[in-house]
């Protein structure tokens, strides 16, 4: 981890953040390379947003070193603020203003000259397909449109790095796919580094590299393919009449651990499922009710590393307040 590389646009070393004795971020170290899509993957409350907030100068750190574009996060906040674009987890648009006005205010704050600002507003709106609605109040926008406008706004001042904190949270699956399409399109058309977080496993597959984060620690960091390769082959899920006996048998013939899965199923990993399954069914001492095989996903990687699945936990008070505020802001 000690490689001093000029291509590193973000360097985080031994970062710790404590809230009243609680370690939200627990000694993490990682780097983000220029022009890559870097993903933070982990359940709610893992420390993703806290880390992002520290990197983008919104939160102070307890200890550790963070540099971004060569600027120190503790000492050169304004330099950092100039080179980052931010799309927050919670909507931060002013919904009583139009899309153009939201962009205009943003541009003023970044000191973009008026004429340039006008051109760029058109350009970014075009990119996220909102040109036709640019003069509508944001309160008339759908969730997906708001998110697209926020992405456009984050790009307005041509940042070197764009942060996307849970960009698809609270959107329906179809809209979520569209948002990712925009992000991929953006990556193709501009030289920009993208740092995103998500707790939707499938969505982070577009990243060049992923850090899996849990309870404030990075527990794995690699390309999606390499992460999936850590799983020993294909995932097999079986529903049988007698799990205990079957588990013992599988352990004997494959040598791999067998886990209990949802709804009375058991799951395990084998190298080559297509030749394994016919042989297995023929020789099984127990009647098999159903069997399926699939390629490993990042969800399996997380399950393998932590023994838990990433899933929505009960909404905390803060989350429920957040939902209420969203409701309120719609009016």
Beta carbon of residue 152, minimum distance to other proteins (angstroms, whole number): 13
Strands 63-68 and 8-19: antiparallel
Q: Does 84 bind other proteins (CB under 8 A)?
A: yes
Please choose, out of 25-33, 77-85, 174-182, 218-226, the segment that lies near other proteins by the rule CB under 8 A: 77-85
The pair of three-digit structure tokens given for residue 182, joined into one six-digit string = 């925009």
Give the nearer residue to other proteins in terms of CB position, either 86 or 155.
Answer: 86
Give the nearer residue to other proteins in terms of CB position, either 80 or 212.
Answer: 80
Q: Does 94 bind other proteins (CB under 8 A)?
A: yes
CA distances from 209 to 33, 87, 187, 295 (A): 10, 20, 14, 19
Sign of CA dihedral 186, 187, 192, 197: positive
Interface mask (CB under 8 A) for other proteins, residues 118-157, using x and -? Answer: -------------------x---------------x----
- Nearest alpha-carbon partner for 156 in 116, 206, 195: 116
Return the ∠ at Cα 193 (arms to 188 and 194), rounded to 5°. 85
Q: Does 192 bind other proteins (CB under 8 A)?
A: no
Residues 295-324 within binding reach of other proteins (CB under 8 A): 321-322
Please say whether the beta carbons of 156 and 120 come within 8 A: yes
Q: Does 97 bind other proteins (CB under 8 A)?
A: yes
Q: Does 18 bind other proteins (CB under 8 A)?
A: no
Please say whether the beta carbons of 178 and 12 come within 8 A: no
Chain contacts with other proteins (rule: CB under 8 A)? 56-60, 78, 81-82, 84, 86, 88, 90-94, 96-97, 101, 105-106, 108-111, 137, 153, 321-322, 325-326, 329
């Amino acid at each position: 981890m000690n490689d001093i590389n000029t291509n590193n646009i973000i360097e985080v070393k031994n970062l710790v953040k404590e809230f009243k004795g609680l370690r939200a971020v627990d000694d993490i170290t990682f780097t983000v390379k220029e022009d890559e899509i870097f993903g933070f993957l982990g359940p709610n409350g893992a420390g993703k947003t806290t880390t992002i907030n520290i990197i983008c100068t919104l939160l102070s750190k307890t200890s550790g070193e963070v540099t971004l574009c060569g600027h120190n996060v503790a000492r050169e906040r304004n330099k950092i603020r100039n080179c980052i674009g931010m799309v927050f987890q919670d909507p931060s648009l002013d919904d009583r203003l139009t899309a153009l006005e939201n962009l205009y205010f943003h541009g003023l704050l970044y000191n973009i000259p008026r004429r340039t600002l006008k051109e760029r507003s058109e350009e970014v709106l075009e990119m996220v397909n909102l040109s036709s609605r640019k003069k509508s109040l944001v309160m008339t926008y759908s969730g997906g449109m708001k998110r697209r406008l926020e992405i456009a706004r984050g790009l307005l001042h041509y940042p070197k790095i764009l942060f996307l904190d849970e960009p698809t949270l609270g959107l329906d699956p179809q809209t979520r796919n569209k948002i990712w399409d925009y992000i991929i399109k953006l990556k193709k058309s501009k030289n920009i580094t993208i740092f995103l977080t998500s707790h939707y496993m499938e969505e982070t597959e577009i990243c060049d590299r992923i850090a899996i984060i849990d309870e404030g620690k990075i527990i794995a960091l690699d390309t999606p393919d390499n992460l999936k390769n850590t799983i020993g082959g294909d995932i097999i899920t079986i529903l049988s009449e007698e799990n205990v006996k079957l588990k013992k048998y599988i352990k004997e013939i494959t040598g791999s651990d067998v886990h209990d899965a949802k709804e009375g199923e058991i799951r395990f990993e084998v190298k080559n499922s297509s030749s394994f399954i016919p042989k297995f069914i023929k020789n099984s001492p127990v009647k098999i009710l159903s069997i399926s095989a699939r390629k490993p996903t990042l969800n399996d990687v997380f399950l393998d590393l932590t023994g838990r699945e990433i899933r929505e936990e009960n909404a905390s008070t803060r989350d429920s307040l957040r939902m209420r505020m969203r409701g309120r802001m719609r009016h």
